[in-house]
């Protein structure tokens, strides 16, 4: 099976007709446009005066990074669809029309981002004593220092290239800073100048921190792009510089691996990664004062049309400003720090988990118990084997170190490393190499299916029997993001769950057949079918006059069968609340179809990342935490796991804190209406302010 994003989605056997009114394209929002709209909600945080100023700058930068990734992946996939003549999706929008809509909506977002920077954040930062200084603000002393810095520290590593028949347009690396310099005159060889390209190596810092003795303050900064433009004439002595214009190109970064044809995934991936930075271009960002003749030259070189050009009123990569948040010594302009709970600190975790399940709610609970569990397992003579999945772990992961230690201590260690975790491929290749060198058995997952499940299993001898200890999570095994992402992790010694996890590992590593699991729901086998079955069960309850209730918290939803099932349940009278952080293609509040469905999105200090499914089940509610969103890829083309919260006390905690708490939020919530618009939720007159994240922080 080819893992291309264009792989046709297999349909579950469900009775339907081509005339099914729930297939009407008017009932569906386009996924790509919905994803773009999420970034407007992120940008709104940058404009929120209640958010600390440097944190507002971070939100601006995050919206820019998200837009980069959108073009690298989502827009690139739409271009592929257009090239291959693929039909429209459930929303009925053709790929060609969608590309036009993407350009128009993205242009609105870019305009809003630069308006936020130029008219709001930069002036407010100036007032607060944090200065990102453009050329017009440099005094004579600063200008002299910057020119000397340019000549001594920057110019020696630059390789300006004047374009002529013997110097063709250079290769431009994805998302790098470049300057197009318009020249007049002749050089030492008598060559007439016209256009030169200056590429800024990635080794150069994009933010220059001015020394306090020449700036007058400790928090004065200059962008590298400003310096390159200001001193362009130094790079072309004897030539007249008529203009210098920064630009940046974004390239298609979706790797195309035909897994049916390859013999070695790691080797093929390394080859693909070496070319990723120079794949076809999808977007050109260019200074808005650049002459059209130069813009046309750049577009022609990158084989782009005018609707791929975005004109920039400021630095071409606002994301680089995020460095200022770390460089500026202004804790008063940041969120107050908090200390995560770690109630298991110093405990023998096998003793604790042997008696009861442990639920971790990140970032309010520390990730340390997961790392400590693995460390204790590595050193425990009774532990015989460890199995784990790794999707994203970060560099210098303490978990990887513990796995290496376990292998060196004689444990049988098997790790499923998902090499195709987008933008972490190179890091995961390094993790795989490190583990293999330590004697860990490394598995690269299943051909055609990314392994996205978050599972850790420890097999320990206790007396005359073996016992399995498992950790299952909604987020990655990444101790860094566990401080900024909301996620759940369950540590349990439940026999049924342990047996299910064991069988899934067998499927991944040993080509075992599909087996019936007792507790866990698994993609691509049972999760999809069970979601549909549980939605239909609530609909049947409602049709019988009983309360039907569904509450779901996920990051995105687009799977058309699931959406149609939710529509049908709404028509039956089921009350449905969806807490969807990002893209949502379901259209709520439509008369006769989805008037019983409400969709909200929470955007706040922490990235909402946990997935929780709750079904009322006629007074015997079922609640699952999961690694899977309700996207077609997660439900049909990935290895995912949903795990039940069996301990009733813990189940109530998840229901109250991750669902009801979020439905009550009236400060950081956005409500999706039937038109596809998101509107900020505001407290009703006399209603107390309620922040879901703030409430959980206050409980630490």
Neighbours of 36 (CB within 10 A): 22
Answer for the pair 637, 663: CB distance below 8 angstroms, yes or no.
no
**Quick check: helix, strand or coil at residue 544?**
coil
Beta bridge partners of 460: 383, 467
**How many whole angstroms separate alpha carbon 459 and alpha carbon 470?**
9
| Sheet with 220-223, edge to edge strand ranges | 131-132, 220-223, 207-209
Short-list 588, 591, 614, 616, CA closest to 601: 588
| Sheet with 178-184, edge to edge strand ranges | 161-162, 195-199, 178-184, 240-251, 281-287, 309-312
**How many whole angstroms separate alpha carbon 143 and alpha carbon 138?**
6
Q: How far is residue 653 from each of residues 484, 554, 602, 615, 659, measured CA to CA in Å?
A: 20, 17, 19, 15, 9
**How many whole angstroms separate alpha carbon 353 and alpha carbon 498?**
13
Answer for the pair 438, 472: CB distance below 8 angstroms, yes or no.
no
3-state helix, strand, coil in the chain (%, to 5): 40, 20, 35
* Annotation marks residue 609 as catalytic: no
Which are the contacts of 37, defined by CB distance < 8 A and separation ≥ 6?
A: 105, 678
- Greatest C-alpha distance within the chain: 90
Q: Give ∠ CA 300-301-302 in degrees, rounded to 5.
A: 95
User: Cα-flanking dihedrals φ and ψ of residue 388, to 5°?
Assistant: -155, 150
Q: Is 689 exposed, middle or buried (0-12, 13-18, 19+ CB in 10 A)?
A: exposed
**How many whole angstroms separate alpha carbon 164 and alpha carbon 184?**
13
**Quick check: helix, strand or coil at residue 358?**
strand
Annotated catalytic residue, options 103, 319, 362, 452: 452
**How many whole angstroms separate alpha carbon 256 and alpha carbon 165?**
34
Q: Is 135 exposed, middle or buried (0-12, 13-18, 19+ CB in 10 A)?
A: middle
The single-letter DSSP state of residue 338 is -
**How many whole angstroms separate alpha carbon 521 and alpha carbon 500?**
9
**How many whole angstroms separate alpha carbon 288 and alpha carbon 109?**
16
Helices within 181-309 (DSSP H only)? 212-215, 224-230, 265-276, 292-302
Listed in order, strand segments (DSSP E) in 175-224 are 178-184, 195-199, 207-209, 220-223
Which are the contacts of 404, defined by CB distance < 8 A and separation ≥ 6?
A: 434, 435, 438, 440
Which are the contacts of 513, defined by CB distance < 8 A and separation ≥ 6?
A: 507
**How many whole angstroms separate alpha carbon 513 and alpha carbon 503?**
9
Beta bridge partners of 489: 360, 473
Three-class secondary structure assignment of 52-72: CHHHHHHHHHHHHHHHHHHHH
Which are the contacts of 8, defined by CB distance < 8 A and separation ≥ 6?
A: none
**Quick check: helix, strand or coil at residue 264?**
coil
Instruction: Cite the active site residues.
Output: 452
């Amino acid at each position: 099976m080819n893992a291309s994003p264009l792989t046709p989605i297999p349909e579950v056997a469900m009775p339907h007709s081509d005339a099914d009114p729930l297939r009407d394209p008017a009932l569906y929002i386009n996924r790509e446009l919905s994803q773009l709209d999420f970034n407007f909600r992120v940008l709104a945080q940058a404009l929120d005066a209640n958010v600390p100023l440097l944190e507002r700058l971070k939100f601006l930068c995050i919206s820019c990074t998200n837009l980069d990734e959108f073009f690298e992946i989502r827009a690139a996939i739409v271009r592929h669809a257009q090239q291959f003549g693929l039909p429209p999706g459930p929303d009925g929008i053709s790929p060609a029309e969608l590309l036009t809509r993407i350009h128009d909506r993205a242009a609105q977002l870019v305009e809003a981002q630069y308006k936020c920077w130029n008219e709001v954040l930069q002036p407010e930062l100036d007032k607060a004593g944090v200065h990102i200084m453009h050329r017009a603000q440099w005094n004579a002393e600063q200008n002299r220092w910057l020119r000397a810095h340019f000549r001594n520290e920057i110019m020696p590593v630059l390789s300006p290239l004047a374009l002529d028949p013997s110097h063709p347009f250079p290769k431009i690396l994805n998302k790098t800073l470049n300057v197009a310099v318009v020249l007049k005159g002749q050089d030492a060889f008598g060559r007439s100048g016209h256009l030169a390209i200056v590429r800024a190596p990635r080794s150069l810092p994009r933010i220059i921190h001015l020394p306090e003795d020449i700036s007058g303050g400790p928090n004065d900064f200059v962008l590298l792009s400003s310096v390159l433009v200001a001193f362009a004439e130094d790079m072309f002595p004897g030539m007249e510089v008529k203009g210098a214009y920064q630009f940046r190109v974004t390239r298609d970064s979706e790797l195309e691996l035909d897994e049916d044809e390859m013999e070695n995934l790691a080797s093929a991936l390394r080859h693909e990664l070496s070319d990723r930075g120079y794949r076809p271009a999808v977007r050109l960002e260019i200074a808005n004062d650049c002459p059209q003749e130069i813009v046309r030259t750049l577009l022609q070189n990158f084989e782009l049309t005018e609707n791929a050009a975005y004109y920039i009123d400021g630095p071409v990569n606002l994301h680089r400003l995020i460095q200022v948040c770390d460089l500026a010594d202004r804790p008063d302009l940041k969120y107050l720090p908090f200390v995560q709970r770690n109630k298991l600190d110093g405990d023998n975790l096998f003793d604790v988990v042997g008696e009861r399940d442990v639920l971790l709610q990140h970032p309010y609970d520390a990730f340390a118990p997961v790392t400590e569990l693995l460390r204790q397992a590595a050193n425990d003579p009774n532990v015989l084997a460890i199995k784990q999945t790794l999707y994203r772990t970060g560099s210098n992961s303490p978990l990887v170190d513990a796995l290496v230690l376990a292998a060196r201590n004689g444990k049988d260690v098997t790790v499923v490393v998902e090499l195709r975790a987008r933008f972490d491929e190179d890091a995961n290749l390094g993790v795989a190499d490190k583990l293999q060198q330590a004697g860990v058995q490394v598995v690269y997952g299943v051909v055609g299916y990314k392994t996205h499940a978050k599972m850790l299993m420890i097999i320990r001898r206790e007396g005359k029997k073996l016992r399995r200890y498992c950790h299952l999570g909604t987020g990655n095994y990444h101790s860094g993001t566990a401080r900024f992402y909301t996620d759940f992790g369950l540590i349990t010694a439940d026999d049924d769950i342990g047996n299910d996890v064991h069988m899934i590992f067998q499927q991944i590593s040993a080509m075992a057949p599909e087996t019936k699991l007792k507790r866990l729901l698994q993609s691509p086998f049972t999760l999809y079918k069970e979601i549909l079955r549980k939605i239909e069960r609530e609909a049947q309850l409602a049709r019988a006059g009983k309360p039907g209730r569904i509450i779901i918290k996920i990051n995105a939803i687009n799977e058309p069968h699931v959406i149609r099932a939710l529509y049908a349940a709404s028509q039956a009278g089921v009350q449905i609340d969806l807490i969807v952080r990002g893209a949502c293609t379901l259209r709520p509040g439509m008369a006769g179809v989805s008037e019983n469905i409400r969709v909200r999105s929470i955007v706040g200090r922490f990235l909402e990342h946990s997935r929780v499914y709750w079904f009322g089940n006629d007074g015997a509610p079922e609640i699952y935490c999961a690694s899977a969103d309700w996207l077609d890829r997660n439900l049909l083309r990935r290895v995912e796991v949903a795990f039940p919260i069996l301990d009733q006390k813990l189940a109530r905690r998840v229901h109250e804190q991750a669902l009801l708490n979020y439905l009550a939020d009236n400060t950081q919530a956005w409500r999706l209406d039937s038109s596809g618009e998101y509107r900020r939720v505001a407290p009703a007159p006399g209603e107390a302010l309620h922040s879901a994240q703030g409430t959980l922080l206050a409980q630490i």
